[in-house]
Amino acid sequence: IGPGKGRRGYLRPETAQGMFVNFPRLLRFYREKLPFGAVQIGKSYRNEISPRQGVLRLREFTQAEAEIFIDPTDKTEPRFKDVASSELTLYPASIQEAGEEPIQMRLGEAVAEGTIAHESLAYYINLTYEFLTASGIDPKRLRFRQHRDDEMAHYAADCWDAEAYLDRFGWVELVGIADRTDYDLQAHTRVSGMELGVFKEYEKPKRQKVIKIKPKMNYIGPKFKKRAKQVVKTLEKLSLGEISGETITIEVDGEEIRLGSEAFTIETLIEEISGEKIIPHVVEPSFGLDRIIYTILEHSYREETVEDEVRKVMELPEKIAPIKAAVLPLLTKDELITPAKKIETKLKENGIQTTYDDSGTIGRRYRRNDEIGTPYAITIDYTTLEDETVTIRDRTTMKQIRRPIKEIEYLITRLIRREEKFNVP
Amino acid sequence: IGPGKGRRGYLRPETAQGMFVNFPRLLRFYREKLPFGAVQIGKSYRNEISPRQGVLRLREFTQAEAEIFIDPTDKTEPRFKDVASSELTLYPASIQEAGEEPIQMRLGEAVAEGTIAHESLAYYINLTYEFLTASGIDPKRLRFRQHRDDEMAHYAADCWDAEAYLDRFGWVELVGIADRTDYDLQAHTRVSGMELGVFKEYEKPKRQKVIKIKPKMNYIGPKFKKRAKQVVKTLEKLSLGEISGETITIEVDGEEIRLGSEAFTIETLIEEISGEKIIPHVVEPSFGLDRIIYTILEHSYREETVEDEVRKVMELPEKIAPIKAAVLPLLTKDELITPAKKIETKLKENGIQTTYDDSGTIGRRYRRNDEIGTPYAITIDYTTLEDETVTIRDRTTMKQIRRPIKEIEYLITRLIRREEKFNVP
Dist CA B212 CA B270 (whole Å): 10
Dist CA B153 CA B149 (whole Å): 8
Query: Can you give the pLDDT at residue B307?
Result: 86
- How confident is the model over A208-220, as pLDDT tens digits? 887 788 888 888 8
- Please indicate whether, in this complex, the C-beta atoms of A49 and B359 are within 8 angstroms of each other: no
CB environment A102-126: b (16+ within 10 A), e (fewer): beebebbebbeeebbbbbbbbbbbb
DSSP state at residue B247: B
Higher pLDDT, B48 or B157: B157
- How confident is the model over B43-83, as pLDDT tens digits? 999 888 888 888 888 988 999 999 999 999 999 999 999 99
Dist CA B361 CA B244 (whole Å): 99
Query: Can you give the pLDDT at residue A355?
Result: 95
Q: E strands, B279-346, where?
A: 281-288, 301-306, 309-314, 325-329
Dist CA B124 CA B281 (whole Å): 14
From chain B residues 18-47, the ones with a CB under 8 A of any chain A CB are 31, 43, 47
**Strand pairing report for A103-106 and A87-91:** antiparallel
A239: pLDDT strictly greater than 80: no
- Sheet of A158-166: strands edge to edge? A36-45, A60-70, A281-288, A170-179, A158-166, A142-146, A87-91, A103-106
Query: Can you give the pLDDT at residue A242?
Result: 64
Query: Can you give the pLDDT at residue A397?
Result: 95
Positive or negative, the CA dihedral B319, B322, B325, B330 is: negative
Query: Can you give the pLDDT at residue A244?
Result: 61
A165: pLDDT strictly greater than 90: yes
Pick the CATH number of A200-275 from 3.20.190, 3.30.720, 3.40.50, 1.20.1280: 3.30.720
Helix axes A408-416, A334-349, angle to 10 degrees: 50
Dist CA A208 CA A273 (whole Å): 7
B244: pLDDT strictly greater than 70: no
Candidate from A20-34, B71-85, B154-168, B200-214 with smallest mean pLDDT: B200-214
Judged by a CB distance cut-off of 8 A, whether residue B59 touches chain A is yes
A325: pLDDT strictly greater than 90: yes
Judged by a CB distance cut-off of 8 A, whether residue A59 touches chain B is yes
Q: How far is A58 from chain B (nearest CA, A)?
A: 11
A243: pLDDT strictly greater than 70: no
A173: pLDDT strictly greater than 90: yes
Q: Which fold would CATH assign to domain A16-184+280-294?
A: BirA Bifunctional Protein; domain 2 (3.30.930)
Contact between B347 and B355 (Cβ < 8 Å): no
- How confident is the model over A92-145, as pLDDT tens digits? 999 999 999 999 999 999 999 999 999 999 999 999 999 999 999 999 999 999
Contact between B171 and B252 (Cβ < 8 Å): no
B20: pLDDT strictly greater than 70: yes
pLDDT band at B204 (very low <50, low <70, confident <90, very high): confident
Percent of chain B with pLDDT over 70: 97
Mean per-residue pLDDT for A160-175? 97
User: Which ipTM value was assigned to this complex?
Assistant: 0.73
Query: Can you give the pLDDT at residue A250?
Result: 82
Q: Which residues contact A287 (CB under 8 A, 6 or more apart)?
A: A63, A64, A65, A128, A174, A175
- How confident is the model over A265-285, as pLDDT tens digits? 888 888 888 888 999 999 999
pLDDT band at A255 (very low <50, low <70, confident <90, very high): confident
Q: What are phi and psi of B91, to 5 degrees?
A: -135, 80
Positive or negative, the CA dihedral A100, A104, A107, A111 is: negative
DSSP assignment string, A235-284 = HHH--GGG-BTTBEEEEETTEEEEE-TTTEEEEEEEEEEEEEEEPPEEEE
Q: How far is B63 from chain A (nearest CA, A)?
A: 14
Judged by a CB distance cut-off of 8 A, whether residue A6 touches chain B is no
Q: Which residues of A touch B2 (CB under 8 A)?
A: 47-50
A74: pLDDT strictly greater than 90: yes
Choose, out of B1, B30, B345, the residue to mutate when testing the contact with A (most A CBs < 10 Å): B1
Mean per-residue pLDDT for B319-331? 96
Angle at B124 between CA B119 and CA B127, to 5 degrees: 125
B401's torsion region: left (phi>0), alpha (psi -120 to 50) or beta?
beta
Query: Can you give the pLDDT at residue B171?
Result: 97
Judged by a CB distance cut-off of 8 A, whether residue A359 touches chain B is yes
Judged by a CB distance cut-off of 8 A, whether residue A49 touches chain B is yes
Judged by a CB distance cut-off of 8 A, whether residue A12 touches chain B is no
Nearest in space to A205 (alpha carbons), one of A272, A108, A300: A272
Dist CA A129 CA A164 (whole Å): 11
B2: pLDDT strictly greater than 80: no
- Please indicate whether, in this complex, the C-beta atoms of A1 and B31 are within 8 angstroms of each other: no
Cβ of B314: how many Cβ atoms within 10 Å?
Answer: 20
B245: pLDDT strictly greater than 70: no
Mean per-residue pLDDT for A387-404? 96
pLDDT band at A47 (very low <50, low <70, confident <90, very high): confident
pLDDT band at B89 (very low <50, low <70, confident <90, very high): very high
Task: Spell out the domain ranges in chain A.
Answer: 16-184+280-294, 200-275, 312-416
Mean per-residue pLDDT for B340-366? 94
Output the CATH code of domain A312-416: 3.40.50.800
Question: Between B2, B31, B359, which is nearest A359 by CB?
Answer: B31
Higher pLDDT, B269 or B334: B334
Mean per-residue pLDDT for A176-184? 96
pLDDT band at A1 (very low <50, low <70, confident <90, very high): confident
Distance of CA A375 to the CA centre of its chain: 28
Query: Can you give the pLDDT at residue A50?
Result: 82
Mean per-residue pLDDT for B394-410? 96
Mean per-residue pLDDT for B264-285? 89
Question: Between A1, A43, A48, which is nearest B59 by CB?
Answer: A1
How distant, in Å, are the alpha carbons of A135, A142, A295, A300, B144 from that of A130?
Answer: 8, 11, 15, 16, 48
Query: Can you give the pLDDT at residue A238?
Result: 77
Query: Can you give the pLDDT at residue A271?
Result: 85
How distant, in Å, are the alpha carbons of A71, A78, A140, A251 from that of A255?
Answer: 48, 60, 79, 5
DSSP state at residue A4: S
DSSP bridge partners of B143: B163
DSSP state at residue A5: S
Query: Can you give the pLDDT at residue B251?
Result: 81
DSSP assignment string, A130-150 = HHHHHTT--GGGEEEEEPPTT
How distant, in Å, are the alpha carbons of A401, B67, B334 from that of B146?
Answer: 54, 19, 61
Query: Can you give the pLDDT at residue B325?
Result: 98
Q: Which residues contact B275 (CB under 8 A, 6 or more apart)?
A: B199, B200, B201, B202, B205
